[in-house]
Structure formats: structure tokens, C-alpha cells
């Protein structure tokens, strides 16, 4: 039971964080979700209160904001804003992706970095939490423009990185190509072939097999385990996913390999519905080879349909996987999914479900895997890439995928058992927040006041 004193204290810490980080709505939302689970933890671990761990964890260790000037193919000059928030290094070097999207602000990067602390702790691997990116829109940019932007971005960021300091990876708008360009620039400036300084590189230059697939594959392994607990199987289940990027495509691949039927996915323009099951080869060709819009899929499968501006969550399904962006599934969407018979939701994206949506799922008994647990496969495989780079080794696809699956099952079980221990059986949100927090908090106490 939470004592009123603890509730008051945590509420006070939250209000103080809101005041000190004015206008950062996404950051406030992420903080509120985590702090809302911590009352019982402070009762069980009064030392965390004494050491002011919550207050300290809310303050990033370092926040870097910088100018990114670059020239397009016509010679016109553009100025973007770059960010890196190095949030917490109690468990290891800062680790977290870079996002290139016009919606990027300090608030978005802080919410992602904050989530990353607990996600990385759940993997059990020695990595701290960070996030970065730029308010740059990669849509419609040529390869030469992407290279110039990545080089300019790294020309400033390199001074804060290092394999023992801060190790970025990809996120929205940043894939293998962009990571490779940034690594190339880092290598040139520093004169060091320091493979472990970024992850998500291509295989030729020290990348890990499965890194590209890992977030999507890991998400499905987490989902499979949630279903096992419910005594349900993935085979034959009808699934829908938002997004049509790295995470969504590889989640579809693993779902299909395990016998599920995926009938819809989406992008920011609308959703694609293919009643007979998405043709993965066609989808990969359109999105990965051609880098085209999702509608182009219809050229390969005329019997499918594309609903511009449509709400994907209105499609009846048994399993829903939001894999696009934050706050894309609200309370109303959740109610529709529940009415239509959805039994499980696992988040491939970061914080895609609003707090109201998550509440609807919890109350309806829908198994709900929050992103900080369910999409941790990406960062876990990044940590495996760091291990390979440090040992100058390279592992096979099968070996790496087996490790990924073990890690995802481990994360699931840790969240499940922690929720049960704290009297919240089946509540993966509470399980993930509490288990992740305790790991980091213990390390912070041990490290002293730093
Ligand atoms: P990609 O850039 O590969 O794909 C993103 C997809 O989401 C695209 O289909 C895009 O559509 C859609 N999308 C992006 N922003 C919006 C928006 N504002 N509204 C509607 N649709 C949008 O990114 P990823 O697949 O890598 O990332 C997807 C999510 O997964 C993000 O939340 C990311 O933080 C999270 N994640 C990613 C990891 C990784 O390893 N890549 C690891 C852990 C989490 P369009 O092309 O039309 O913009």
C-alpha cells in the first residue's frame, strides 16, 4: 500500500518537474507515468528516498543543443537544430537513438531519453540512457543531401561521443545509411576506427546481424510470451500495425514467420488494408528499396486498399501493435479495439498509447506491453553490437537472434514477476517502470552523490 506521505511526496516531485521543465508536455507525460508507479517502491526501499533518487533521475546529466548548417543540392543553405540529451549513465555509457523528424523538440528528446533509462536497465545489459536527433525532415532528400546533413550533424556531436561515453543508434528517419555516414565522419575527424561509438552500422563496417530486424523481431517475441501467459498462441491471430518503417516491417516479418496474419499497416498518410494478408516482399520493395509512399503497394496488390487519413485502429483484429510514433492511439481508439475483440497490444513505438488508452486496456484485461519493455530488442541488440566491436568478433545471425529472443523473454518475465511482487499482477506498465527504476536506483546509490 502507498502511504499518503509517499503519494504527496511523489506528487510534489512531479509538480516541481513540470515547473522546472515548462511546456515540455511529452516529457511531463513520460515522467507522470513512471512516477505514478513508484509509491510502493519508496515504501519498500526508503534508501531511495533518502538519496533523492527520483529527483536526481529526473534531471539529465547533460543536455546538448547545437546548430546544424548544411547545403541542399541547389546550393541553398539550411539551418537545423541538433539535440543530444545524456540522461543517465549509472549502468553504463549513454545509449539511445537519434531521430530526424520535423516534429523533434527538446521535450520529445527528453521524453525519449527518460524512457530509455528504464528500457536499457530492463535489458540487463550495461548501458545508460540517452536520446538525440534533429528537427530535420529527411523526406524527399537526395542521398547526397542526407550525407551532407549527417556529416554536419556529426561534426558537432562527435566531441561528446565515445565507446565508453555515449553511443548513439538510429530511430525515426535514421537507418543504416545515415548511421554509416555519421560513423564515416566520426572516423575522419577523430582518426580512430572506433566501431563501438555508434550502433546500427552495416555488416561490412562492424554492424551486428539482426540489428535492423531487432526491434520488430523483439516486439513479436515479447508479444508471444504475453500470449503464452494468457494460454493463447500467436498462430492464426489477425494483427494490425501502425507505421511502415523499420520497426513495423520487421514485426510483420516475424509475425508472418510465426503463423500470424497481418492485414493492415500505415504511414502518416493513411492506412493500407490487405484482407488476404500483407505481401511482405511487395511492402519491402516499396518502402525499403524504392523509399516510396505506402500507396505504391497497390501497384503490386491491386486488390488491397489504401484509406487516406483513415484510422487504422478501427479495423477489427485480435492483436494491435502501434509502431509509428508517440500518442497515436488514444482512449477512443482503445475502446474500439476492445469492442472489436482485441486481446493483446504491444508497443513497438515509444509511448504510442496515451494514458487514457493504456487505462482502457488495463481495465478490459487486454494484455498491454509498454514500449520500454516490448521494443527494447533494438537497444539490446545494439549492446550486443558494442560487445562484438569491443571483442573484435562477429557473430552469426542465428546466434544473435537466439540472444535477442532470450533477452526479450527475460524482460517479459522480469516485468511480469515485478508487477506480481508489487501487487499489480498482469500490469506490465507497473512491472516495467518498477523493475527498471530499481535497477538504476541501486546503481545510483552505490555510485554515491554524482
Ligand atoms: P521509421 O522512420 O523507419 O518509420 C516510422 C514510421 O512511422 C513511418 O511509416 C512513418 O510514416 C510513421 N510516422 C512517423 N512519424 C509519424 C507521425 N507523426 N504520424 C504518423 N506516422 C508517423 O522509424 P522506426 O520504425 O525506426 O521507429 C518507429 C517507432 O519505433 C518510433 O516511435 C521509434 O522511437 C520506435 N523505436 C524504434 C527503434 C529502432 O530500432 N528503430 C527502437 C525502439 C523504438 P511516414 O513515412 O509517412 O512519416
Q: What is the mean pLDDT of residues 18-28?
A: 97
Residue 259 lies in a domain: yes
Question: Are residue 30 and residue 70 in the same domain, yes or no?
Answer: no
∠ CA 153-159-160, nearest 5°, is: 95
Residue 34's pLDDT is 97
Contacts of residue 52, Cβ cutoff 8 Å, sequence gap at least 6: none
Residue 286 lies in a domain: yes
Query: In angstroms, what is the span from residue 448 Cα to ligand 1's centroid?
Result: 38
Query: In angstroms, what is the span from residue 111 Cα to ligand 1's centroid?
Result: 15
228-245 residue pLDDT tens: 999 999 999 999 999 999
- What percent of the chain stands above pLDDT 90? 97
Q: Is the beta carbon of 434 within 6 A of some atom in ligand 1?
A: no
Question: Are residue 49 and residue 66 in the same domain, yes or no?
Answer: no
Choose which residue among 117, 120, 247 to substitute to test ligand 1 binding: the one with the highest number of ligand atoms within 8 A of its C-beta: 247
Q: What is the mean pLDDT of residues 165-170?
A: 98
Residue 1's pLDDT is 38
Question: Are residue 220 and residue 357 in the same domain, yes or no?
Answer: yes
Question: Are residue 74 and residue 118 in the same domain, yes or no?
Answer: yes
Above 70 in pLDDT, residue 276? Answer: yes
Q: How confident is the model at residue 7 (pLDDT cuts 50, 70, 90)?
A: confident
395 vs 27: which has the higher pLDDT: 27
Query: In angstroms, what is the span from residue 324 Cα to ligand 1's centroid?
Result: 4
CB 317 within 8 A of CB 263: yes
392 vs 164: which has the higher pLDDT: 164
Query: In angstroms, what is the span from residue 101 Cα to ligand 1's centroid?
Result: 9
Above 60 in pLDDT, residue 63? Answer: yes
CA distances 65 to 24, 121, 138, 172, 321, Å, are 15, 25, 20, 19, 33
31-51 residue pLDDT tens: 999 999 999 999 999 999 999
Residue 326 to residue 354: CA distance in whole angstroms? 8
Question: Are residue 229 and residue 361 in the same domain, yes or no?
Answer: yes
332-366 residue pLDDT tens: 999 999 999 999 999 999 999 999 999 999 999 99
Residue 14 to residue 28: CA distance in whole angstroms? 8
Residue 325's pLDDT is 95
Residue 49's pLDDT is 96
By CB neighbour count within 10 A (0-12 exposed, 13-18 middle, 19+ buried), where does 232 fall? Answer: middle
Q: How confident is the model at residue 6 (pLDDT cuts 50, 70, 90)?
A: very low
Question: Are residue 25 and residue 143 in the same domain, yes or no?
Answer: no
Residue 5's pLDDT is 43
Q: What is the mean pLDDT of residues 213-236?
A: 97
Q: What is the mean pLDDT of residues 286-307?
A: 96
Boundary of a domain, candidates 165, 194, 223: 194
Q: Is the beta carbon of 323 within 6 A of some atom in ligand 1?
A: yes
Q: How confident is the model at residue 299 (pLDDT cuts 50, 70, 90)?
A: very high
101-137 residue pLDDT tens: 999 999 999 999 999 999 999 999 999 999 999 999 9
CA distances 356 to 25, 61, 133, 363, 435, Å, are 15, 31, 28, 11, 23
Q: Is the beta carbon of 370 within 6 A of some atom in ligand 1?
A: no
Residue 318 lies in a domain: yes
Q: How many separate domains does the chain show?
A: 3
Q: What is the mean pLDDT of residues 55-79?
A: 98
- What percent of the chain stands above pLDDT 70? 99
Above 50 in pLDDT, residue 3? Answer: no
Q: Is the beta carbon of 24 within 6 A of some atom in ligand 1?
A: no
Supply the residue whose CA is at minimum distance from atom 33 of ligand 1. 349
CATH number of the domain where residue 347 is located = 3.40.50.720
Residue 365 lies in a domain: yes
Residue 234 lies in a domain: yes
Residue 2's pLDDT is 39
Residue 209 lies in a domain: no
Question: Are residue 117 and residue 154 in the same domain, yes or no?
Answer: yes
Residue 419's pLDDT is 98
Question: Are residue 292 and residue 244 in the same domain, yes or no?
Answer: yes
Sheet holding 77-88, edge to edge: 62-71, 77-88, 129-134, 94-100, 166-169
81 is in which domain, residue-wise?
62-194
Ligand 1 atom nearest residue 247's Cα: 25
CB 162 within 8 A of CB 192: no
Question: Are residue 179 and residue 290 in the same domain, yes or no?
Answer: no
Residue 434 lies in a domain: no
Question: Are residue 43 and residue 71 in the same domain, yes or no?
Answer: no
Q: How confident is the model at residue 17 (pLDDT cuts 50, 70, 90)?
A: very high
Q: Is the beta carbon of 350 within 6 A of some atom in ligand 1?
A: yes
Q: What would the grid cell of residue 297 be?
A: 503497394
Residue 85 lies in a domain: yes
Q: Is the beta carbon of 171 within 6 A of some atom in ligand 1?
A: yes
Boundary of a domain, candidates 15, 39, 58: 58
Residue 350's pLDDT is 96
Query: In angstroms, what is the span from residue 364 Cα to ligand 1's centroid?
Result: 27
Above 80 in pLDDT, residue 180? Answer: yes
Question: Are residue 170 and residue 285 in the same domain, yes or no?
Answer: no
Contacts of residue 437, Cβ cutoff 8 Å, sequence gap at least 6: 34, 37, 38, 41, 57, 118, 121
Above 50 in pLDDT, residue 147? Answer: yes
Choose which residue among 267, 287, 374, 411 to substitute to test ligand 1 binding: the one with the highest number of ligand atoms within 8 A of its C-beta: 267
Residue with cell 497490444: 345
Question: Are residue 292 and residue 171 in the same domain, yes or no?
Answer: no
Q: Is the beta carbon of 168 within 6 A of some atom in ligand 1?
A: no
CATH number of the domain where residue 177 is located = 3.40.50.10860
Query: In angstroms, what is the span from residue 349 Cα to ligand 1's centroid?
Result: 7
Q: Is the beta carbon of 96 within 6 A of some atom in ligand 1?
A: no
Boundary of a domain, candidates 369, 384, 406: 369
Residue 394's pLDDT is 86
By CB neighbour count within 10 A (0-12 exposed, 13-18 middle, 19+ buried), where does 365 fall? Answer: exposed
Amino acid at each position: 500500500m502507498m502511504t499518503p506521505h509517499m503519494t504527496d511526496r511523489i506528487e510534489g516531485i512531479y509538480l516541481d518537474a513540470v515547473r522546472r521543465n515548462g511546456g515540455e508536455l511529452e516529457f511531463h507525460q513520460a515522467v507522470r507515468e513512471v512516477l505514478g508507479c513508484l509509491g510502493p517502491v519508496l515504501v519498500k526501499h526508503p534508501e531511495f528516498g533518502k538519496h533523492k533518487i527520483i529527483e536526481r533521475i529526473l534531471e539529465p546529466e547533460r543536455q546538448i543543443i547545437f546548430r546544424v548548417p548544411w547545403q541542399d543540392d541547389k546550393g541553398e543553405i539550411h539551418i537545423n537544430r541538433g539535440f543530444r540529451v545524456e540522461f543517465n549513465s549509472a549502468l553504463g555509457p549513454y545509449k539511445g537513438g537519434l531521430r530526424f523528424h520535423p516534429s523533434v523538440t527538446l521535450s520529445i528528446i527528453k521524453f525519449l531519453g527518460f524512457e530509455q533509462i528504464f528500457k536499457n536497465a530492463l535489458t540487463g545489459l550495461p548501458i545508460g540512457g540517452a536520446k538525440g536527433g534533429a528537427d530535420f525532415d529527411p523526406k524527399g532528400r537526395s542521398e547526397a543531401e542526407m550525407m551532407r546533413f549527417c556529416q554536419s550533424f556529426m561534426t558537432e556531436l562527435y566531441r561528446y561521443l565515445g565507446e565508453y561515453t555515449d553511443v548513439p543508434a538510429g530511430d525515426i528517419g535514421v537507418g543504416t545509411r545515415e548511421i554509416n555516414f555519421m560513423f564515416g565522419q566520426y572516423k575522419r575527424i577523430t582518426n580512430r576506427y572506433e566501431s563501438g561509438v555508434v550502433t546500427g552500422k552495416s555488416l561490412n563496417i562492424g554492424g551486428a546481424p539482426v540489428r535492423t530486424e531487432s526491434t520488430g523481431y523483439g516486439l513479436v517475441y515479447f508479444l508471444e510470451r504475453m500470449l503464452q501467459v494468457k494460454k493463447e498462441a500467436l498462430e492464426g491471430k489477425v494483427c494490425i500495425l501502425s507505421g511502415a518503417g523499420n520497426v513495423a516491417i520487421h514485426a510483420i516479418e516475424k509475425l508472418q514467420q510465426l503463423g500470424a496474419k497481418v492485414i493492415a499497416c500505415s504511414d502518416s498518410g493513411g492506412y493500407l488494408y490487405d484482407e488476404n494478408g500483407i505481401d511482405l516482399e511487395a511492402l519491402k520493395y516499396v518502402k525499403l528499396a524504392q523509399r516510396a509512399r505506402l500507396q505504391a503497394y497497390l501497384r503490386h496488390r491491386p486488390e488491397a486498399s489504401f484509406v487516406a487519413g483513415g484510422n487504422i485502429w478501427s479495423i477489427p483484429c485480435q492483436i494491435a501493435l502501434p509502431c509509428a510514433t508517440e500518442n497515436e492511439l488514444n482512449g477512443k481508439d482503445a475502446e474500439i479495439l476492445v469492442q472489436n475483440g482485441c486481446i493483446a497490444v504491444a508497443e513497438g513505438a515509444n509511448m504510442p498509447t496515451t494514458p487514457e488508452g493504456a487505462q482502457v486496456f488495463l481495465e478490459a484485461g487486454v494484455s498491454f506491453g509498454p514500449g520500454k519493455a516490448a521494443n527494447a530488442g533494438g537497444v539490446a541488440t545494439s549492446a550486443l553490437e558494442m560487445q562484438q566491436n569491443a571483442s573484435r568478433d562477429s557473430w552469426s545471425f542465428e546466434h544473435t537472434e537466439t540472444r535477442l529472443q532470450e533477452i526479450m523473454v527475460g524482460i517479459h518475465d522480469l516485468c511480469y514477476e515485478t508487477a506480481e511482487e508489487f501487487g499489480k499482477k498482469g500490469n506490465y506498465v507497473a512491472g516495467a517502470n518498477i523493475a527498471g527504476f530499481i535497477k538504476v536506483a541501486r546503481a545510483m546509490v552505490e555510485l554515491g552523490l554524482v
